[in-house]
Amino acid sequence: MQIDIEAERKEILHRYKLLIKACKRRLEKGDQEIIRKAFGVAVESHKEMRRKSGEPYIYHPIAVAQICAEEIGLGRVGIVCALLHDTVEDTDLTLDDIKGLFGEKVAQIIDGLTKISGVIDNTSSIQAENFRKVLLTMSEDIRVILIKLADRLHNMRTLEHMKRDKQIKIASETLFLYAPLAHRLGLNTIKTELENLGLKYTDTEAYNEIGTKLSESEPERKKFIQKFIEPLKDILAEQGLKFKIFGRAKSIYGIYNKMKTKRVSFEEIYDLFAIRIVIDSPHDQEKSDCWKVYSIITDFYHPSPERLRDWISTPKSNGYESLHTTVMGPSGKWVEVQIRTTRMDDLAENGYAAHWKYKDSAADKESKLESWLLKIKEMLENPDPNALEFIDDFKLNLFSDEMFVFTPKGDMKTMPVNATALDFAFEIHTKVGEHCIGAKVNHKLVPLSHELSSGDQVEILTSTKQSPKDDWLSFVITAKAKSKIKNSLKDQRKKIAEEGKDIVQRKFERQKLEFTNKNINAFCSFLKLNSSQELYYRAALGNVELKEIKEFVKHQENPIKKKKKTETANIEQLVTTARGNTDMLVIGDDLQKLDYKLAPCCNPIPGDDVFGFITVGEGIKIHRVNCPNAIKLLSNYAYRVVNAKWVNDQLISFLAGVKIIGTDELGIVNNITKVISNENNINMRSINFDTHDGLFEGTIMIFVHDTKHLNHLITNLKKVKGVTKVERIDEKH
């Protein structure tokens, strides 16, 4: 295909002009020249490169810079770094070159953005280490993660040009970490787009189905919203309020998530949309005006008292401010109503992009962000050697719902929901946590594991005799508490191990065995212990006996050759062996003598979109792409994932589960079993029905050949009189 170089050159310049236009309002004197210089360096560095779509590579850095300027609101340094973000990794340009051309700060951010390329070890994956590197640099400069998010957003927007396995891996990683990070930074618009695009590639069928249903139900929704807001408009105007009132549909991913977690169908979700009332209010009247609107709405429609959320008095730690209530609207439907001012709405939707407009509130939000970054720094001081565990803890804390807890003096602390008294103790200070023996919650004595509720006042009780215990890890949820407890336990083990070293040395000498590193390592290997410290620790606790040393001496004199076990195989070799020369595992093909099992967490059957996951000791496990565990596996252990596809030469039966719900009609069970037995080659393994107050619920485990076979059965079961819902279930019963 002939490439029109001149047309491409014009297009590159056109895109550059659009970028300058997008950031012009925030540029100071001299900024444009520096951006122009970065643009020139990026064009020159990437000139020979093309993207998978065939377009010039430079389109990507320009698009990332455009997102940074337009959708995130970054200034000169951010734009320069976005234009140069791939140069050190993909071209001959070095970090020193960047430093010489653009200074220390730009080089530091580019360093954080440059992906790690290193050896994969068996405790973590490239991605997990990469995330940690990003988080470390991010705690120095927030722009690292903002540019990373822009980079990911553009990659997700152009994901159709990638191979299917790459699409699944990148989309899973996006849902696993990048979308929650965007949420945590208050970038709601970007978070929503990342989630929707992530779903589009991890569960295309569900994405299309929900999208179609949303479009189909739109006219009906519009009619309902009109009916709801009509009586409110006049009275709000009478009160002299300037306002906009409209209905906002929930995102496709938001609906999908609700269907999954609540196990309901699309039709059963009552809050498919929310009514949003945005008022134009002076800064000093914002709070009172929002409550005035709340009062007017609840005069018209009955509110649900337990569904009131006040994030105006106490904004979320990502700066979100809004008043939410759920009211009983026309036609007996519950409707969520969000009340906020123009400033609050802008900050909620665009986060950083809106900052430059609201200087006062921006300063307040910056201080919130500073305290959050301080928390990250604390967590990174002593990160767990297992990067994956660390990422899990990090996610758990930073993206969980929040509650507010008070000290005895009335200071407010923000804690994740489900945090315990011990979490709170570590939140106050590491020493307070380590010496904590209990707490008083609202003046009543409670144990360390007591779960706190929003509004609790907590006094921590300490004793210098107290020190962290192993079981403490099971009742803390904050990453700070976990990492501090683990460090303390490690130190304790080290001290105990030092005493154990002398014990082992004495025992070795008694058996006339030299106390050398070689012998110690051989003895550890003989006892299947992973380190000499573990050996010394056990010895100090009296768990290393003379008898074992004697057996070891005998073994040394006359070693018995042990069979190699898969468990001890290096994971790298495992991956290479399992992959072979191909990157595609064909399931059900006799030619491929690979040991694979179907994962019990999602029971894949032929026709499902699947991938193979290389395990240690259990061969390859086949998972469905939309398996509950898939996102974590695909994003953290991508190097252990093998593409997999089914061949349907043989009719093999696979176990699948079906859940049936309906009204308890006479003979319904008989009618259901009749449909199943009439279906070709379907055998039932188990059947379980339960009726309660005129409703019945049944679970049937059946053997089917593939998804087509199963879907045909589900369609026929839905036709049985009295059956209201039939769905495939993952777990075995």
**DSSP conformation class of 315:** -
Top mean pLDDT of 252-256, 360-364, 644-648 is at 252-256
CATH label of the domain that carries residue 306: 3.30.460.10
Cα 213 to its chain centre, rounded Å, is 26
**pLDDT at position 496, please?**
85
pLDDT at 339 over 90: yes
Q: Is 44 a catalytic residue?
A: no
Does 198 lie in the same domain as 79? yes
The total number of residues shown for the chain amounts to 733
Whether the pLDDT of residue 485 is over 80: the answer is yes
Q: Is 559 exposed, middle or buried (0-12, 13-18, 19+ CB in 10 A)?
A: exposed
What residues contact residue 408 under an 8 Å CB cut-off, 6+ apart?
A: 457, 458, 459
Residue where a domain terminates, one of 307, 326, 357: 357
Compute the distance between CA of residue 27 and CA of residue 69 in angstroms, rounded to an integer.
10
CA 146 to chain centre: 17
| Whether residue 527 is found in the same domain as residue 547 | yes
On whether both 55 and 139 belong to a single domain, the answer is yes
Domain final residue, candidates 315, 333, 357: 357
Query: What string of H, E and C letters represents the secondary structure of 576-595?
Result: HHHHCCCCEEEECCCCCCCC
Q: What is the pLDDT of residue 569?
A: 41
pLDDT at 507: 86
pLDDT tens, position by position, 280-311: 999 889 999 999 999 999 998 999 888 888 99
Q: What beta strand segments (E) does 306-362 contain? A: 309-310, 323-328, 334-341
CA proximity to 295, closest of 282, 284, 308, 283: 308
Question: Distance between CA 376 and CA 395 in Å, rounded?
Answer: 11
Alpha carbons 70 and 176: distance in angstroms, whole number: 25
Task: Calculate mean pLDDT across residues 705-716.
Answer: 84
Task: Read off the pLDDT of each residue in 239-257 and give the average, rounded to a whole number.
Answer: 90
Least confident of 90-94, 519-523, 543-547, 572-576: 572-576
Residue 432 pLDDT > 90? yes
Max mean pLDDT among 142-156, 589-603, 607-621 falls in 142-156
Count other Cβ atoms within 10 Å, centred on residue 119.
6
Note the pLDDT of residue 381. 56
- Between 50 and 138, the more confident residue is 50
Catalytic-labelled residue, pool 44, 89, 280, 498:
89
Mean pLDDT of all residues in 518-527: 85
SS3 711: helix
Q: Do 724 and 678 share a structural domain?
A: yes
pLDDT at 474 over 70: yes
- pLDDT digits over 76-125, tens only? 899 999 999 888 888 888 889 999 999 998 998 888 777 433 322 333 34
Query: Are the C-beta atoms of residues 113 and 136 closer than 8 Å to each other?
Result: no
β-bridge pairing 302-303 and 323-328: antiparallel
> What is the per-residue pLDDT for 19?
92
φ and ψ at residue 607, rounded to 5 degrees? 105, -25
Q: What is the mean pLDDT of residues 254-267?
A: 87
Tell me, what's the pLDDT at 630? 81
Residue 619 has pLDDT above 80, yes or no: no
Q: Where are the beta strands (DSSP E) in 205-358?
A: 242-249, 273-280, 302-303, 309-310, 323-328, 334-341
First to last CA, the chain: 57
Same domain, 76 and 148: yes
Query: Which CATH number covers residue 183?
Result: 1.10.3210.10
* pLDDT score, position 581: 47
Instruction: Determine the pLDDT at residue 364.
Output: 54
Tell me: do 20 and 161 sit in the same domain.
Answer: yes
The answer to whether the beta carbons of residues 186 and 318 sit under 8 Å apart is: yes
pLDDT in tens, 26-64: 778 888 899 999 999 999 999 888 888 888 999 999 999
Check whether residue 586 and residue 713 sit in a common domain. no
Residues 119 and 227 in one domain: no
Beta bridge pairs of residue 276: 246, 338
Residue 35 resides in a domain: yes
pLDDT > 90 in the chain, percent = 26
Supply the angle between the helices 76-84 and 5-23 in degrees, to the nearest 10: 150
DSSP conformation class of 150: H
- What domain range is 337 assigned to? 211-357
129 is catalytic: no
Query: Distance (Å, rounded) from C-alpha 188 to C-alpha 75?
Result: 20
Average pLDDT over residues 561-580: 47
Decide if 583 contacts 638 (C-beta within 8 A). Answer: no
Q: What pTM, to 2 d.p., does this model score?
A: 0.66
Q: What is the pLDDT of residue 682?
A: 76
Catalytic pick among 8, 11, 55, 90: 90
Question: Total structural domains in the chain?
Answer: 5
Greater model confidence, 386 or 54: 54
C-alpha to C-alpha distances, 627 to 146, 202, 567, 662, nearest whole angstrom = 30, 10, 25, 26
